[in-house]
């Protein structure tokens, strides 16, 4: 049974999956910096801009979640599923996610951040002028 409304669930879910996307981006940054890439800067620049954009969005989501008293708590994880508890003003809802579905949601967020990257580069370039 659903105890959170669509807006609350959407907000908490976006926060959860955006946080996961940031972990992936940070791992990729680490792997590029310490890997065998010959020219690292274009990749690290892109990932850093994506991470900054994600951090800014997550900060906004955190503020909205604070205002609405929403929290997300990781419960457990196994090879197939991950469970999270969504709390909102005394109501709670446990949700189980199939791990490949989580991966797809995180991949979608990373693709969104990549699409925003050219605009971020243009902002950066115009600031240099």
**Residue 17, domain member (yes or no):** yes
**Residue 12, domain member (yes or no):** yes
**Residue 45, domain member (yes or no):** yes
- pLDDT by residue (tens digit) across 6-40? 999 999 999 999 999 999 999 999 999 999 989 99
**Residue 1, domain member (yes or no):** no
**Residue 117, domain member (yes or no):** yes
High-pLDDT (> 70) share of the chain, %: 91
Judged against a pLDDT cut of 60, whether residue 95 lies above it is answered with: yes
Judged against a pLDDT cut of 80, whether residue 121 lies above it is answered with: no
- pLDDT by residue (tens digit) across 37-50? 899 999 999 999 99
pTM of the complete model? 0.88
d(CA 73, CA 65): 13
Domain ranges, residue 94: 6-128
String of DSSP letters for the chain: ---S-HHHHHHHHHHHHHHHHHHHHHHHHHHHHTS--SS-HHHHHHHHHHHHHHHHHHHHHHHHHHHTTEEEEEEEE-SSEEEEEEEETTEEEEEEEEHHHHHHHHHHHHHHHHHHHHHHHHHHHHHH-
């Amino acid at each position: 049974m659903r105890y959170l409304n669509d807006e609350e669930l959407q907000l908490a879910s976006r926060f959860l999956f955006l946080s996961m996307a940031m972990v992936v981006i940070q791992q990729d940054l680490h792997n590029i910096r310490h890997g065998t890439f010959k020219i690292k800067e274009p990749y690290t620049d892109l990932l850093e801009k994506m991470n900054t954009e994600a951090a800014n969005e997550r900060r906004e989501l955190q503020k909205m979640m604070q205002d609405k008293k929403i929290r997300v708590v990781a419960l457990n994880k196994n090879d197939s599923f991950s469970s999270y508890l969504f709390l909102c003003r005394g109501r709670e809802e446990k949700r189980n996610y199939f791990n490949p579905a989580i991966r797809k949601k995180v991949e979608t967020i990373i693709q969104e951040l990549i699409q925003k990257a050219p605009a971020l580069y243009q902002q950066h370039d115009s600031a240099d002028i």
